Structure formats: structure tokens, C-alpha cells
Amino acid sequence: MFKTYLLFILLTGSLVIFKEPTFVEARGFKITSLGLKESVIQTDLYYYNPNNIGLQLKQVDADVFIEDKLAGHSIIDTLIRIPAKDTFAIPVRFRIEMKNVLSNAFTILTQDKVNIKMRGTASVGKAGIFIKIPINYQGKHSF
């Protein structure tokens, strides 16, 4: 239970408890760059902030799997402001090593949709105190 809540003191000295944002969906998978050695996939991960206070996202560190094979990695270190009681998007770009997906090339090219997984963490917080929330997504998508 402690994992889902973080206690911290705001500059006013009041004690605040906030809940982790909850995953809503992944939308807009697209290939933004296609190459023989490396390609880039972009998507938006949507989360809902159930708190009455705005938060900040400062880092995302995640792996992407295509048809259960590790395909690439993404690190985002841009500060994103999260509104209170609202849904927000985290834009994610994955650099895909094409040698990692060649064994699945036939499946990827012949199916309408492929299985994509994302596993990692995002750092969310306020007033300089951050917690890591999990990124665990799996779904079928077309490009």
C-alpha cells in the first residue's frame, strides 16, 4: 500500500498524500523513421491523475517488445506538467534495433496487427520529491 502513496511536505508545511496516476491507454503507434539498422516508433501513453494537485513527470525509462522480442529502448528526460484530476499524454519515441526484429519480420509484415509490450518506469512527483510508477502495457497495433 505504501508503494501506491507518497507522503511529502509542501513548502507550506502541510502534509499531502497523492495516488499514482493510472494507465488509460496507448494511442497513435506510428513508424516515424524506417531504416535498415534502426527505426523509430512513436506513440502516446495516456494516464489519469486522480489527485487534486498537479504533478510533474521528469523521466521515463522503458523497453519495447514486438512479438515478445526485445526491440528497443526509450529514455525521456523532459519535464512534463500533469494537470490535476485529468488525463495527460506522455509522448514516447522508441529507437528500434532492426536486427532485434528481423526474426519477426515475416509476422510483422503479414499480420494486420502485431503484439507490442512496453515495460519500464516513469518518475512522477511534486516539489522535488518523485516516485517511480510502472509502465506495463501490452496490446495489438497496426502501423
pLDDT level of residue 9 (50, 70, 90 thresholds)? very low
pLDDT level of residue 74 (50, 70, 90 thresholds)? confident
Statement: residue 10 has pLDDT above 60:
no
pLDDT level of residue 87 (50, 70, 90 thresholds)? very high
The residue-averaged pLDDT of 17-43 equals 83
In this structure, the chain runs to a length of: 143
More confident residue, 43 or 2: 43
The residue-averaged pLDDT of 75-82 equals 86
Nearest to 139 by CA among 119, 123, 120, 116: 116
pLDDT averaged over every residue in the chain: 79
**Taking the complete model, does pTM exceed 0.85, yes or no?**
no
Burial code (b: 16+ CB inside 10 Å, e: under 16) for 7-27 equals eeeeeeeeebebebbeeeebe
- Which domains does the chain carry? 20-141 (2.60.40.10)
Burial code (b: 16+ CB inside 10 Å, e: under 16) for 99-130 equals eebeebeeebeeeeebbbbbebebbbbbeeeb
